[in-house]
Every structure is written in structure tokens, then in C-alpha cells.
Structure 1
Amino acid sequence: MVDNVYLLIFYGVVLLLVLVASFLLFYIKNQSVVWKQKRQFQESQIAQQKELLNAVIDSQEVERKRIGQDLHDEIGGTLSAIKLMLNSLRNQLSTDQEEVMSEAKQLIDKMIVDVRHISHDLSPPGLAVFGLFTTIEAFVTLINNTGEIKISIEQEEDIEEVELPEKTALALFRVLTQLVDNTIKHANATEIAISFKKDDDLQINYQDNGKGFDLAVLEKRGGIGMQNIQSRLQMVNAVYKIDTEIGKGFRLAVSCPLSSEN
């Protein structure tokens, strides 16, 4: 009789362990399914956000191109016509009037150059033909000629052979020009260094010798310029790292895939 009681207790404990084990297996399996569904939902959300971001940036680029062409063709053409009209009046003016005319012509010349620079920035004409690196060199030359800041470029000899998808090249061009603009406006820097290196990915390093920022404050504040930079890098699946401290300048390291699948 006692043996039967122990046997029943033994079987009861075994059954309880089996039930507990079964419950744990069911719970783990259920949690695995829940986490898988949650991950799929998050991935779907990220994909939708990326598609939306692509659509927004594409529409911005279309509008930039339209405005750039209008500035170059209409405003630039009108200013050139006014300059020709002033030239035709030069011989009919007195000395004082000619001095005023000369000043007016200088202002028009400056406006023509400014309009050309703005239109090229809105829609870089050489990007599709000459590629990212040549277009950036032209942009850097333009900035260096202003005397506001010194920009140097370091790149491997065969970097021009790197073929980037048009969207990737445009995104990186926008990122670099935005960085230069941020440095000039906010960093009180005298020098900027940009380097390009081809590894498994395209490695880009941007660095200035400006006043630097508190990274935590920079990330919290999140100005429109930095948001645009981060959005464009995410759009082309680029990995990036910001390194900055007060008094130690600003650095951005970018690793951008060379694949056309963005």
C-alpha cells in the first residue's frame, strides 16, 4: 500500500514536471512568434518610412532643379540683358552718371555670379556628367575663391573610377555641401579637410578645425541642417559617426555602400 502511494506521488511529480515543461515550451514558442511578428512590423515601418523619405527627397530635388533652371535661364538672362542695355548708354552719360553706371554694372555682375552659384547649388549641372568627385572639386574651388575658408581634398588616384548611382552621388553631394555651409555659418573654422577612400565601401571623412560642439546637445537640438544630413545618409544606407567636442572641431566619418541597391 505504501509503495503504491509513493508510486502515485512519483507519477504525479513526473506529470507535473511534464506539464510545466510543456507550458514553458509553449510560452517560449509563443514569445518567439510574438517577437518575430513585432520585428517584422518594425521592419515594415522602417521600410515605409524610408520609401516616404525617398519620395520627399525626390520631390525636393525635382523642385530644386526647376528653381535652379528658372534662376539660371530667366533671372540670369534678364540681368545679362540689363547689363547690355547699360553698356549701350555709357557714351551718352556725363562723368558723374558714368560713375553711377559703373557701380550699377558691378552690382549686376555680382548678382549674375550669385544667381549662377545659387542655381548650380540647387541643381549641380556637372554631377550626372562628371560624377561626385569632380563636382565636389569644382564646388570646393568655388568656396576657396571666396577667401572665407580654406578647404582641402585628399583622395586616392583611382577614386574617379568609382561609379556611384545617381541618387547616391546626389545625396553625398548634398551632405558635403550642407556640412560646408554649417561649418562656415556656425563653427568659426579656418580650415576644412575632406577625404575620399575606396575600400569595400566608399569612405568619406569630413573635418573642420572649428569650435566644436557638445555632441549630446547637438543631437538633442537636431537642427534642420543635421536632420537633412542624417536623412540623406540613411536614404543611401550609409553608416556614419559624428565626433565633436567643444574646442576640438567637428568630424563626420561616412561609410557608403557602392551597390546600386539603396
Structure 2
Amino acid sequence: MSLFWRIFLLNAAVLVVAMVVLILTPLTVSAPVLLPEVLILTGGLVAMLVANAVLLRVGLRPLDRLTRAMTTIDLLRPGRRLTVTGEAGIADLIRTFNTMLDRLEAERAASTGRALSAQEAERQRIARELHDEIGQTLTAVLLELKSVADHAPPPVSERLHQVQETTRNGLDEIRRIARRLRPGVLEELGLTSALKALAAEFSTGGLTVQHSIQRHADLGRDVELVLYRVAQECLTNTARHAGARHVDLRLTGWGTGVELCIRDDGRGPGDAPEGAGIRGMRERALLIGADLALGPAVGGGTEVRLRVPAPAESE
């Protein structure tokens, strides 16, 4: 029975009961209306309204759960579904909502995958241009500065050597940026070496990154790239915002899959809303069917756990 007919019949039943009471009991309404009659009618009206409100509240309670779910649902935390309860109309509505979530999550994962693939391709293109174009140009400038400095008088030669050193630092920074945009070590040497190199890169400026990385069988290019990018984003956030002195990076087995755990001793996540970096990590985790958990670490700081199922399950 539809929701309309249930509400209609509920109100009709209340009115029929009131009419039967008036017909089968000695209750009457005189003209002018007497005070006892007013009290009786008022009491009957209140009783009907209370009964109507209670019955409607019980019947429409599943709609309240649906409303709360619609206002709190987050497509970056998939898997939440409402239990199908209630009568036919409400149960159909909840079932339709769950089906809509299935479709939205699938479409979100597909569109995110295309966007991230395009982003990786753009990163590789920029990295190649930085390395091949700007890097070669600065290398040529360095050689020219060296040639000029070797034949210049001492005061000018000293200034040229300073410019040469500044140019060399700029070239090193460009190469570092290119390596972050396009992790060649990941493609050439694998995930274990890439994570070790990443830990060594961030172990500067008062931040110490210790790592414990177990070797695993081939996880697949997409899974390894997600693990690397999540670790890179976590270490970047820690170095920029956490005020931490020590970071522990671990890659271990988890069931038949792997788990990446990054824990620091910084100020912790606090109550700040999730930024674009964290939401980007969640989107990457969705691509491989992984579960990303972020929160305060035991003893202070922040802990990020990325649990990746076995490759056969994530495909």
C-alpha cells in the first residue's frame, strides 16, 4: 500500500471512530453549547490529534533515517547503506536511495580515475619539459658561466662563480621538482626503492623519517602509484604543517593485501576540515578499492593508514 493511502486510511479511521462514539454514546451537542460538552469535545479532539501524531510518527520514522543519511552521506567514504525497513512505499524509497548511491559511487570512481590518469599524464609531461628543456638550458648556462669566469679578472670571476652556484642550486631544485612530478625510481626500481628514496628526501630540516618496508610481490602499477602518492602527500603535509620531528613510515602485509602506515609526532589533525590533499588521497584510495583512515595517533601526532586488498580483489 502506498504512503498516500496509508495516511488517508489512518485519518479516515480516526474520524470513523469519532463518529461511532458520537452515534453509539449518549453524547450530544446542544444549542447553546454547554460547558461539559465543550470539555468533552475538546478532550476528544486532543485524543484524536495525539493518536494521529503517534501513528504518523511511527509510520514515518524510516523517512527520518533517510533524511539524516542524505545530509551526511559522503561519496569518499563508500559502503554506507540504509537498512530497508518500513512499509511498501517507504521501503521502496530507501531501496531506490541505496541503488542511487551504488550508481553515484561507481560513476564517481570512474570519473575520478579518468581525472587522476589525466593528472598523472600532465605531471609526466611537465616533468619531461622541466628536465629536457629548462634543465638543458640551465646546464648550458652553467657551462657558459664557467667558461666566462675562467677568463674574467678576479673580482668579476668571483661574482660569476656566485651566479654559477645560484644557477646550480636552481637546476637541482628543478630536478627535484621533476622527480616528484614523475617518480622515475618507482618505474625503474619498484615501490620499495621509491619509498626509501622518498623517506630519504624528506629527512632534512630537522625532520627524521624512519622506514620499515617489506618487499611484496608485484602489486600492479596502479596500486604502487597510489601507495607512493599517498606516502608523498602525507610526508608533504607533515613537513609543511605538522611541526613534527619524527615520522615512521611502514609498509607491511595486511591479510592478503598490504597496509601503508605513516605516523608522526606533530600537533595532530585537530578539528580542521579535510583539505584538498586529504580528499585527493581518499579519491586515490577509491580507485584501487582501498580503505583510508586518518586520525590522531596514540601518544600524539597524526596517523594515516591505507589498507589495500589483494590485487585480485582490487581489479
TM over 0.5, shorter chain: yes
Q: 1:102 aligns with which of 155, 161, 166?
A: 161
Tell whether the 8 Å contact from 2:269 to 2:295 is kept in structure 1 after alignment: no
* Equivalent residue, structure 2, for 1:93: 152
* Equivalent residue, structure 1, for 2:58: none
1:203-223 Cα offsets, whole Å, 9 max, x none, are 111001111132xx23xx221
Q: 2:126 aligns with which of 55, 64, 67?
A: 67
Which structure has the larger Rg over C-alpha atoms?
A: 2
Q: 2:269 aligns with which of 205, 213, 229?
A: 213
Amino acid at match of 1:232: R
* Equivalent residue, structure 2, for 1:250: 302
**Could you tell me how far 1:246 is from its partner in structure 2?**
11
Amino acid at match of 2:259: Q
Tell me the distance in 2 between the aligned counterparts of 1:147 and 1:107. 20
**Could you tell me how far 1:108 is from its partner in structure 2?**
1.3
Structure 2 residue matching 1:255: 3-state secondary structure: strand
TM-score, with structure 1 as normaliser: 0.81
Amino acid at match of 1:124: P
Q: Runs of 5+ in structure 1 lacking a partner?
A: 1-26
**Could you tell me how far 1:147 is from its partner in structure 2?**
3.7
Show the 5 A alignment for 1:14-29: 28=87
Moved more, 132-141 or 117-126: 132-141
* Equivalent residue, structure 1, for 2:238: 183
Moved more, 32-41 or 223-232: 32-41
* Equivalent residue, structure 2, for 1:151: 209
Structure 2 residue matching 1:152: 3-state secondary structure: strand
Q: 2:104 aligns with which of 45, 69, 75?
A: 45
* Equivalent residue, structure 1, for 2:199: 140
TM-score, with structure 2 as normaliser: 0.68
Q: 1:222 aligns with which of 274, 284, 287?
A: 274
**Could you tell me how far 1:103 is from its partner in structure 2?**
0.8
1:18-67 Cα offsets, whole Å, 9 max, x none, are xxxxxxxxx85665554433322210111001111111111111100100
1:116 aligns with 2:172: no
Q: 1:161 aligns with which of 216, 227, 249?
A: 216
Amino acid at match of 1:248: G
Amino acid at match of 2:258: L
Aligned length: 228
Tell whether the 8 Å contact from 2:292 to 2:305 is kept in structure 1 after alignment: yes
Identity %: 22
Amino acid at match of 2:233: Q
**Could you tell me how far 1:238 is from its partner in structure 2?**
1.1
Tell me the distance in 1 between the aligned counterparts of 2:150 and 2:172. 26
Tell whether the 8 Å contact from 2:247 to 2:264 is kept in structure 1 after alignment: yes
* Equivalent residue, structure 2, for 1:195: 250
* Equivalent residue, structure 1, for 2:72: none
Tell me the distance in 1 between the aligned counterparts of 2:123 and 2:251. 26
